[in-house]
Structure 1
Amino acid sequence: NEMAFYNNENLIFLDETGFNGHLKGSYGYSPIKVSAYKNVSANRGTNRSLMCAILSSGVAAYSYKTGSYNSNTFIDFIISELVPYFNENRNKVLIMDNARIHKTDEVQRILREHNIAFRFTVPYSPQLNPIEEFFSMLKAHYNSAKVLTPTLSIESILDTIFENNTFSVQCTGFFRNMRNWLEKLQEEIHLFNK
């Protein structure tokens, strides 16, 4: 895997995830002899998609929209969020999973046109993609905040989470986990090729 040749500081992982008003915690706390429960509307509401890029020291860029991202809205994200970041950080490499919108000719053309180096993860290898752990942690933060502030919009809750956290320590840990998996994978490949 090519990621082994790059320092963590030079890798930026990008992916998208969804949020809905129905995201909820699986447990809660309440006073003694009082059940902990929450009524949730049967109407699923509108989905919000978060596009996010992380590095080992925290969040590089993010944006959200109603509904899912497609290649056009992904290109908008690249131009508005990634191009300015990569213009100031030329030695970084963008790592994306194999989602169809990441692999279109137009997306790849725009990345090349703006001199953004990019690679794709090994298919079906979430353990090699630190942003998967990041999203899991982010959704836990979101679920906790949603219980405490149920009337706030998804965007308001996420903005507050992003504004109040650098996620530096967590991202460093997620990247360390990725490196541990990468080392295990390289050992297995080495043993297999003997």
Structure 2
Amino acid sequence: MVYRLHQPATKLATVRMALQGLALPEICRLLGVGISRQSFGRWLELYEETRCVIKDPESYEARGRPATLSRDECEFMVRLAQSEPGLFLDEIRERLYDSSGVFLSVEGVHRNLVERLSITLKKPETKNVRKSLVAKYTFVEMMEFFPADFLVFTDESSFCDKDLLRSFGRSKRGTPSARYIINQNPPRLSLLPAISIEGLVALTTTFETYNGTRFEHFLEYDLLPRMNRYPDSNSVLVCDNATWHRGERVQQLCDAAGVRLMYLPPYCPELNPIELCFAAVKQQIRSSQILNRTEDPEFEIRQITAEVMVSDLCYKLYKHCGYCVPPY
């Protein structure tokens, strides 16, 4: 006989009519539904046992393989993943055994995490414990009064062809894939650009590390001459809290140029659109692998930077970081 689903109201009406002495054929005629004698008998039996025509789902017999972990043990694994997300599977197994005495295989731990608890392995986002949300949102609230075309962001980054090799490669199944380093000790190039919502404003590079003196030289001779006096477009310089960004002469140079100097809250790179520009530049270099075959890496990096940090990208990144951009 084909299984047929009956609504709870139908079951309740059927049992009530049966208690009033009506026969099953008469009940089916009055309700306009077909009810088998097996279903009719089960409903009456359930009512006599529980005084209810709907069976409690908690009383159903469990189907399939019995669960290897109880509810409390599952909650322990969830709390463990939340507090220490970087644990290996064997470490989770040991913690579970120490807590409840249940010993699973590594495969069993993985299966329970993924299939039962929906906890998967992913690359974590790095966060600094000293980051202050109060300082971050105070800065965000303050920046609501500055149009995006007032803001110029600057920061430094470094490039090395060994660090920009492609992360993955293809080969036949069962055989490893190889990648080759041409320059065993390649020089590291430091890049110091500044961007506005219109694109790249100034750019300088060096094979040495940037310090306060080089940053001040960049401001005095490259960046500040291309900026305007506040309040005007490109009149607010925003940089992070690096020590050599906060030198006394940095403030003096900005004051002399009529440029307002502002600092990002500590450990908040998500508020600096130039950080995302660096990611786009490195992705372009990694994609082209130009540093592995060029004799002038400085020229190539400067050219790619100028090609990537254009107005269209900068507009999108300013908007992504939450600044007050005009309609596109």
TM range (shorter): 0.7 to 0.9
- Identity score, percent: 27
Give yes or no for the alignment of 1:6 onto 2:146: yes
User: 2:303 maps to which residue?
Assistant: 160
Aligned to 2:190: 49
Counterpart secondary structure, 2:206: strand
Count of equivalent residues: 180
Inter-CA distance 148–100: structure 2 relative to 1 (3 Å threshold) = closer
1:26-175 matches, cutoff 5 A: 26-27=167-168, 37-40=178-181, 43-87=184-228, 91=232, 92-147=235-290, 150-165=293-308, 167-175=310-318
- Segment drifting more, 64-73 vs 35-44: 35-44
Aligned alpha-carbon RMSD (Å): 2.7
Matched with 1:22 is: 162
Structure 1 residues without counterparts, runs of 5 or longer: 183-194
For residue 158 of structure 2, what is the amino acid of its counterpart? G
CA distance in 2, matches of 1:171, 1:161: 15
CA contact (8 A) 2:238 2:262 kept: yes
Structure 2 partner of 1:191? none
Amino acid at match of 1:135: F
Query: TM-score by structure 2 length?
Result: 0.49
Partners of 2:152 and 2:237 within 8 A in 1: yes
Per chain length, whose mean CA-contact separation is higher, i.e. which structure has more relative contact order (CA < 8 Å, sep 6+)?
A: 1
Q: CA deviation at 1:147?
A: 4.6
Q: How far does the alpha carbon of each residue in 1:67-105 deviate from its partner, in whole angstroms, 9 at most, with x for none?
A: 211111111101121122015886220000001110011
**Per-residue deviation, residues 130-173 of structure 1 (Å, max 9, x unmatched):** 11111100111122233586233321211331454552221111
What TM-score do you get using the length of structure 1 for normalisation? Answer: 0.80
Query: Following TM superposition, by how much is the alpha carbon of 1:9 offset from its aligned partner in structure 2, in angstroms?
Result: 1.0
Q: Secondary structure at the match of 2:201?
A: strand
Q: Distance in 1 between matches of 2:144 and 2:192?
A: 25
Residue 131 of structure 1 aligns to a residue in which SS? Answer: helix
Indicate if the aligned counterparts of 2:152 and 2:236 stay in contact, CA closer than 8 A. Answer: yes
In 1, the alpha carbon distance for the partners of 2:169 and 2:315 equals 29
Instruction: In structure 2, give the amino acid aligned to 1:60.
Output: V
- Cα deviation digits, residues 111-148 of structure 1 (max 9, x gap): 21222211000111111111111110011112223358
